[in-house]
Amino acid sequence: MSDVILRNEGPVAVVTLNRPGRMNAIGGALLDDLHDALHACNNDPACHVVVLTGAGRAFCAGDDLQEFGQQSASDASIRSHIERIQRITRDLMLGAKPVVGAVHGYAVGGGFEWMLNCDLVVASDDLVCFFPEMEWGQFVTGGVTHLLPQAIGHQRAMELWLLGERQNAQALLSMGLVNRVVPRDAVLDTALDLASRIAQRSSTSVARLRRLVNGELSGALGRSLELESAATIDAFSHPDAAERVKAFAARKEGTR
């Protein structure tokens, strides 16, 4: 079974992270399947808008720490894993189609980053987001070192990264990081409604707007992705990385 499901609803493509048993945690197969799905959407003239969501009780719980040993086995495997993570941000932000996030449950670490990569976000009223990377000796990705200070300011962004405190949907709304907060069972329908409204706009104008905004962004975003990749590769390679990840994973599994 694929780790990502792609289905078309007229001009709207719904891309669903499909590892509900692992709260859609980010592993190698999911990264490859998600890239393939987004690549298909960005190259499909019948697709005007993408809705990104997750199956089960979470949007995405971040990196699958059960795969850390495999990901960190060699310099080549570390670099490959990080490049595949950053490729998703390029697919989401520099691709041809606008993306609406339908985000519920948990959006943690890389899941939080993917949420921030969306153009619009519909959040469930039970959404919880946080960055755990500083606690377990890793580094943020997804271009957020550029995106987040631009969105909420330097001090607030540093607070989210350094303290890693959990943020609920209303806090995210007040920061301007989500567009709508709705009951859990209304998240996907609300996102589909917004996507359908966008799909009714001129596809040429929408594409021009996205090229203009993201064209201005692409240089700074690309540089941030490069620097984040270097920092993350260094973090993966650190002598105590495995022990930090093991300790954090034990606490994380205990809260599932």
Please tell me the least confidently modeled range out of 22-31, 39-48, 168-177, 244-253: 244-253
pLDDT over 90 at 125, yes or no = yes
Query: Nearest CA to 182 among 127, 120, 106?
Result: 127
pLDDT of residue 72: 73
Active site residues: 113, 133
pLDDT over 60 at 115, yes or no = yes
Task: Identify the band that residue 163 occupies on the pLDDT scale cut at 50, 70 and 90.
Answer: very high
Q: What is the mean pLDDT of residues 221-250?
A: 79
**CA–CA separation, 11 vs 22, rounded Å?**
30
More confident of the two residues 238 and 14: 14
pLDDT over 80 at 254, yes or no = no
pLDDT of residue 239: 72
**CA–CA separation, 143 vs 228, rounded Å?**
7
pLDDT of residue 109: 97
What pairing do the DSSP bridges indicate for beta strands 128-130 and 106-108?
parallel
Task: Identify the band that residue 242 occupies on the pLDDT scale cut at 50, 70 and 90.
Answer: low
Rama region for 143: left / alpha / beta (φ>0; ψ in -120 to 50; rest): left
pLDDT over 70 at 248, yes or no = no
pLDDT over 80 at 214, yes or no = no
| Percent with pLDDT over 90 in the chain | 74
pLDDT of residue 224: 92
Q: What is the mean pLDDT of residues 6-30?
A: 97
Mean pLDDT of the chain: 91
Greatest distance between any 2 Cα atoms in the chain? 53
What is the residue-wise DSSP string for 28-54? HHHHHHHHHHHHHHHT-TT--EEEEEE
Give me the CATH code for the 4-186 domain, please: 3.90.226.10
